Amino acid sequence: MDTKKPKTPDFKWLHSGHPVRAEITAAAAQSLVTECRQALPLEACGVLACGEQDTDSLPGNIPRVSSVYPIRNIAGWPLQSFMFDPQAWIETLYRIEKNRQKLVGLYHSHPNAPAVPSRADYNGLQYAAVASYWIISFSEPERPSIRPYFWNGTSFTPLVLAEIGV
Show the domain range for 114.
21-164
pLDDT, tens digit, 9 for 90 and up, residues 59-115: 556 768 999 999 999 999 999 999 999 999 999 999 999 999 988 889 999 999 999
* Lowest pLDDT segment from 8-12, 131-135, 137-141, 150-154: 8-12
Does residue 134 lie in a domain region?
yes
pLDDT, tens digit, 9 for 90 and up, residues 18-75: 668 889 999 999 999 999 999 999 999 999 999 866 554 455 567 689 999 999 999 9
Q: How far apart are CA 157 and CA 11, in angstroms?
A: 16
Q: What is the CATH number of the domain that holds 101?
A: 3.40.140.10
Q: How far apart are CA 122 and CA 134, in angstroms?
A: 13
Contacts of 106 (CB under 8 A, 6+ apart): 45, 46, 47, 48, 127, 130, 132, 133, 134
Residue of 147, 141, 151 lying closest to 162 (CA atoms): 147
Residue of 113, 119, 109 lying closest to 155 (CA atoms): 119
The answer to whether the Cα torsion of 45, 119, 23, 97 is positive or negative is negative
SS3 101: strand
Q: Which residue has the higher pLDDT, 119 or 66?
A: 66
| Global pTM value | 0.82
Structural domains counted in the chain: 1
Q: In the structure, what pLDDT confidence band is assigned to residue 9 with cuts at 50, 70 and 90?
A: very low
Does residue 7 lie in a domain region?
no
Does residue 93 lie in a domain region?
yes
Does residue 9 lie in a domain region?
no
Look at residue 128 in the predicted model and tell me its pLDDT.
55
Question: How many beta carbons lie within 10 A of that of residue 45, not counting itself?
Answer: 27
Q: In the structure, what pLDDT confidence band is assigned to residue 1 with cuts at 50, 70 and 90?
A: very low
